[in-house]
Amino acid sequence: MLHVRFDRHEIFSIEDHEFHSQTIREVEEVYFNQGKSPWSFNGVCNSLYGIWDGFLYDNIVEDAIAEGLPETLVDRIRTTVTFIKKELGK
């Protein structure tokens, strides 16, 4: 699993923090509703939390799709990934 390091504090506004927090809550809710733990061996949740630590994993969107997350959540994740990459000039 490849990743890019970045300084979240430099590029995230308050609104970006709130958006990402909401995404995490919604993804966790999907897993809870399926009777699954969102943290146990789940690359999507771990990758979303990794963003707080400045790690952008290259396969997070693909993992979300493979996990069968609703398209609205995949779009939210894609929005965050696109934003980070744009800020990093990638």
Residue 19 has pLDDT above 80, yes or no: yes
Q: What is the pLDDT of residues 23-64, one digit of tens each?
A: 999 999 998 888 877 666 568 999 999 999 999 998 999 999
Looking at residue 27, its pLDDT comes to: 94
Average pLDDT over residues 62-87: 96
Residue 74 has pLDDT above 60, yes or no: yes
Looking at residue 43, its pLDDT comes to: 81
Per domain, the residue ranges of the chain are 3-88
52 and 8 Cβ atoms separated by less than 8 Å: yes
Is pTM, for the whole model, over 0.95?
no
Looking at residue 23, its pLDDT comes to: 97
Looking at residue 42, its pLDDT comes to: 65
Looking at residue 39, its pLDDT comes to: 65
The C-alpha angle with vertex 23 and arms to 13 and 38, in degrees rounded to 5, equals 135
Which residue, 13, 1, 9, 87, is CA-closest to 51?
A: 9
